Amino acid sequence: MGLTRSFHFAGARHVVSALWDVSGRETATFMGFYYDNLKRGAAPAQALAAARRAMWRAPVGEVDPAHPAFWGAFVLSGAGP
């Protein structure tokens, strides 16, 4: 998590990162859900959880977005709400 740590040292309060490679399409879909929830006023942890739930229902190409490989990689680190 070297890059995540660098973002925190640079002043980022919250960082969403992936623990393994996820394709661009699924990442873009997941992050779209995440930022939509942030815009609606959700705290970062709530937005991440809501994005995971949204991925379970979202048709993304020919893959099954409910599979944890497409949403389980994303983690949030940071200092509280």
Round to whole Å and give the CA distance between 4 and 56.
26
Neighbouring residues of 71: CB distance < 8 A, sequence distance ≥ 6: 26, 30, 51, 52, 55, 56, 65
pLDDT digits (tens, 9 = 90+) for 16-28: 999 999 888 889 9
Percent of the chain whose predicted confidence (pLDDT) is above 70: 89
Percent of the chain whose predicted confidence (pLDDT) is above 90: 49
Res 42: pLDDT: 97
Nearest Cα residue to 75 out of 6, 22, 25: 22
At residue 79, the 3 state secondary structure works out as coil
pLDDT digits (tens, 9 = 90+) for 9-63: 898 899 999 999 988 888 998 999 999 999 999 999 999 999 999 988 877 666 6
